[in-house]
Amino acid sequence: MGHDHAGHRHEPLGLSGRALTAGLKSAETRCETQGQKLTPARRRVLELLMRAGQPVKAYDLISAFSDTVGETAKPPTIYRALEFLEREGLAHRIESLSAYVACRGEPGGHAAAFLICDCCGKTEEIAAPVDEALRGLAGEAGYTIQTVAIEARGRCAQCRDEAPGAHLHAQEHA
């Protein structure tokens, strides 16, 4: 079920049910293939990111994270899990938002580009078309690129189609 925001409706962005189970299983398999382990803490953080389907700040993950006995995780646990998920290509950090999002791209190292709606906050991951060209230019300069993340801000289709002034911007509510 969707939710109303800024005068128009947005459908849920995150995964649930079978899609969430399949996503977590795929991540687990991917980690095993790389000789890594998706520990319960790493799995829980990834699950929270997948459920959200949009960027989540680390402190929101800390408050949402609880183990089977209901204890809140300590910040280092969350940050270590996020570092692991980033390193393994299962999550990305969106610098301008100081937030993290589950990777929706293809497995393996890839350049990610994020389209961020300044109105509703919806964030969409797309393949960054500059990956190989940028790696080539970096190589000529003597650099080896490990990760690439491009952030583009604007308006999603729903927000763009709204009449100007018909809604409040997300930043005004923050």
Side-chain-side CA neighbours of residue 148 (13 Å): 22
CATH number of 3-173: 1.10.10.10
Tokens of residue 108, six digits = 């393996």
pLDDT in tens, 143-158: 988 777 788 999 998 8
pLDDT-based confidence at 81, cuts 50/70/90? very high
- Do the beta carbons of residue 6 and residue 46 sit within 8 Å? no
Among 3-12, 45-54, 154-163, the minimum mean pLDDT is found in: 3-12
Q: What is the average per-residue pLDDT within 92-111?
A: 81
Which pLDDT belongs to residue 2?
Answer: 45
The torsion of the CA quartet 96, 89, 42, 26, rounded to 10 degrees, works out to 130
- Do the beta carbons of residue 81 and residue 42 sit within 8 Å? yes
pLDDT in tens, 88-99: 889 999 998 999
pTM, two decimals, is 0.75
pLDDT-based confidence at 129, cuts 50/70/90? confident
